[in-house]
Amino acid sequence: MKNFILFCVVMAVCLGAAEEGLRLVGFQPRTLRINPFFVPGTDTTWSVPDPELGWMNKEGTSRALEGDHVPMTFWSFGRRATRAPSDASLPTELAADKTPIMLVGGSNLQSYGVRDEESFPYLLSQRFPKLSFENFGTGGYSTVQALMLADRAFEKFYGAQKPKLILLAFDDAHILRNVSDQSWIYAISDSEGHYISPPHFRIKEGNFIFRPFRTIGFWPLEFHSALVTALHNAWLKKLVYNTADEAVPVTRKVLEQMNEYAKRKGVMFAAVTLDDRSQTAAQVFEGMDFPHKDCSGLERTDPEEYMLKEGSHPNSKLHAHLAECIGDWLDSEILPQLNTAQ
């Protein structure tokens, strides 16, 4: 009993010293940090929770936190407005001569921070009046989530008139998101301040394994102890979500899955790169057997001119460039293939 008591005293002293030492060098207990994009009940809240995808765009109008804090219109099923409010047509209401196009991707496709009519999907709708673009772009999404939403929209949103093309808007940020790397885990949190792990894939012993969306709970005493917080951080960063090495092969596999999914559904799949600041997209798309267009570059060569003042999303000038780049590609390469298929 004496030895046990002595052991407990020594451990308490050691833990107390470790706690004090960590605080002296700047470590602090966990504090509640709610992602500003997901704060509930505000006019800047553009999302609603979703048990499978993690979140979806919320129907209605939300105000951007970046740029000039402009309003952004979202229609049913999380679609960002791509035409006049009076023309929020569902696929079952489309004219027979209109061709449905499904757009999926992250916040650059969502067109966060610019007005509806300044977004490149809206500009594409004006350029191609015979195409019906539905913009399912959602802030923070990965390629994995884009595929999951594409499947849901194909089955539950579109009626008998299915899309002729699924167009993925790709950003290099999706690469780490596809494996839920710790760098992404620590960038997002839910409306209650929990870290979250979006749906993603991992490679384990050569197998391609899907991991569903999950909320990461707090450890006991984490809000009171710098030591417990540091241990939890180390657990997440070094062990559970240290996944960057798998990011490129996983992303390539997800792209292959998207292409195979489109083939099974009898529609065309293509991808366009919007943002590639790390310049790794070429490695991801190398050798793929579906059309791909790289419209990136200005976000890294002249960000002050082409990005919102916060530097994270394209401004209206870059959206105009993207609309021209994608539009020319559609005209020259994609639409002739769609017409042939029809």
pLDDT (tens, 9 = 90+) of the chain, 342 residues, equals: 666 565 455 455 555 565 556 566 566 887 777 777 788 789 999 999 999 999 999 999 999 999 999 999 999 999 999 998 656 555 555 556 789 999 999 999 999 999 999 999 999 999 999 999 999 999 999 999 999 999 999 999 998 889 999 999 999 999 999 999 999 998 888 888 889 999 999 998 889 999 999 999 888 988 888 888 888 888 888 889 999 999 999 999 999 999 999 999 999 999 999 999 999 999 999 999 999 999 999 999 999 999 999 888 999 999 999 999 999 999 999 999 987 554
DSSP string, 231-258: HHHHIIIIIIT--GGGHHHHHHHHHHHH
- Please state whether beta strands 292-294 and 207-211 pair in parallel, antiparallel, or not at all (unpaired): unpaired
Q: Tell me which residue of 328, 329, 298 sits closest to 315, measured CA to CA.
A: 298
Alpha carbon distance 267, 164 (integer Å)? 5
pLDDT tens digits, one per residue of 269-315: 999 999 999 999 999 999 999 999 999 999 999 999 999 998 889 99
273 C-beta neighbours (distance < 10 Å), count: 20
The single residue listed with the structure tokens 């030591």 is 227
Instruction: Assign 307 to helix, strand or coil.
Output: strand
By the 8 A CB rule, do 66 and 313 touch? yes
Taken in order of first residue, the domains within the chain and their CATH numbers are 1-342 (3.40.50.1110)
Q: Tell me which residue of 149, 152, 81 sits closest to 119, measured CA to CA.
A: 81
Alpha carbon distance 303, 120 (integer Å)? 18
